[in-house]
Amino acid sequence: MVKKAVRYGLFLCVCAVTISALVSSAFGDPSRNKDIGSSQAAKLVQDTVKKYFIQDKNASITTQASEESGLYKVDVGMANITQAFYLTKDGSRIIFPDGIVSIAKLEESAKKETVKQDIPKTAKPFVELYVMSLCPYGIQAEKKILPLMDHFCDSVDFKIRYIVDVKGQTINDIQSLHGIDEVKENLREAAILRLQADKFPVYLEKINKGVCLISCGAAKLDDYWKEAAKESGIDVKKVESFENSPQALELLKNDSASAKKYNVSASPTLIINGVRSDAIYAGSDVMRQAICLAFTESPAACKEYSDITKTP
């Protein structure tokens, strides 16, 4: 599971024209910079991904570099997923969907990691999963934690929250990393969780299959979600009605306030009893243990171990 990568949009679909425009506006013509060459560009991106963005340092990663729009486009492959990274020709900056990151600053940021805090114990732990609805790794985190929450039943207070910035009273006043499509999907998923939560895991699976196509604009989300909802047995009209209601906007306002409270910007982020937990990056067993440690008195679900979220 990728840990810090989601903060910068790792393994999300990105359109090259957007990247090129972003770099041109920030640096002028990147082709005027010192050129490190395509081979070195591929190696630099591979080393950076391994060093800063994945926990398994022995993971198999493939890279292939080419020139595009005055940049190096480096296709990075890992675990059957391929993501295009864009690197300035002097090798100093990597461009992600939500901005430009200096490689030198990655080293500085890595030294400032927050010291882990002990999770306080409560009778009924409050577990919050923060995601972006069109983030593949956010979706994977949801798929892993939902069966676990079923296992704990009512002994845990669990919420999925969406990482947004609400600046006003309409849908156009909501900002999300992947644009208005993601804002709408956040609202729809909040509606499904409110109205037909039992259908949500199946719907999530169907959305996950097309998330990269949606992010890149190759598929229209307005059509795709309706098909996925109908196949999942979800009442589309009820979801649309709630999606456009003041109550839905209020839900995202609450999510936004909570995210700011905990300084959440990465999808996924797991908060247990008000403390950030890295367990979300380590698999279902570690998540289960982290949640069990948050109880003042362990319930039966903590004493009966079975890796219920393990998939073949």
Residue 293's SS3 state is coil
The beta-strand segments (E) located in 62-171 are 62-68, 71-78, 81-87, 93-96, 99-102, 126-131, 157-162, 165-166
Q: Which of 311, 306, 310 is nearest to 151 (CA)?
A: 306
Residue 158's SS3 state is strand
Q: Is there a contact between 21 and 27 (Cβ–Cβ < 8 Å)? A: no
Q: Is there a contact between 185 and 228 (Cβ–Cβ < 8 Å)? A: no
CA distance 164 to 256: 5
Q: Which two tokens stand for residue 181?
A: 């499509």
Residue 175 carries which DSSP code? E
Q: How confident is the model at residue 205 (pLDDT cuts 50, 70, 90)?
A: confident
pLDDT tens digits, residue range 18-77?
Answer: 434 444 444 444 445 589 999 998 998 888 877 766 655 566 788 888 988 788 888 887
Name the phi and psi angles at 288, rounded to 5.
-60, -45
pLDDT tens digits, residue range 108-125?
Answer: 655 544 434 588 999 999
CA distance 70 to 154: 55
The yes-or-no verdict on residue 11 having pLDDT over 80 is no
Q: Which two tokens stand for residue 261?
A: 């409270």
Q: How many CB atoms lie within 10 A of CB 233?
A: 11
* Residue range 218-231: mean pLDDT, rounded: 81
Among 86-100, 209-223, 263-277, which is the least confidently predicted range?
209-223
Displacement of CA 47 from its chain's centroid (Å) = 22
More confident: 204 or 214: 204
Tell how many helices (H) and how many strands (E) occur in the chain. Answer: 12, 11
**What percent of the chain has pLDDT above 90?**
28
Q: Which of 4, 99, 112, 17 is nearest to 54 (CA)?
A: 4
Q: Is there a contact between 302 and 292 (Cβ–Cβ < 8 Å)? A: yes
Give the end-to-end CA distance of the chain in Å, rounded to a whole number: 16
CA distance 292 to 290: 5
Residue 225 carries which DSSP code? H
CA distance 143 to 146: 6
Where are the CATH 3.40.30.10 domain residues in the chain?
A: 126-303
The pTM of this model reads 0.65
More confident: 213 or 101: 101
The yes-or-no verdict on residue 143 having pLDDT over 80 is yes
* Residue range 210-229: mean pLDDT, rounded: 70
pLDDT tens digits, residue range 144-168?
Answer: 899 988 889 889 999 999 999 988 8
Whether cis (ω within 30° of 0) applies to the bond prior to 30 is no
Burial call 184-216: b when 16+ CB within 10 Å, e when fewer = bbbbbbbbbeeebeebbeebbebbbebbbebbe
Name the phi and psi angles at 133, rounded to 5.
-65, -20
Residue 98 burial (10 A CB sphere; 0-12, 13-18, 19+): middle
Contacts of residue 194, Cβ cutoff 8 Å, sequence gap at least 6: 242, 251
Fold of the domain spanning 126-303: Glutaredoxin (3.40.30)
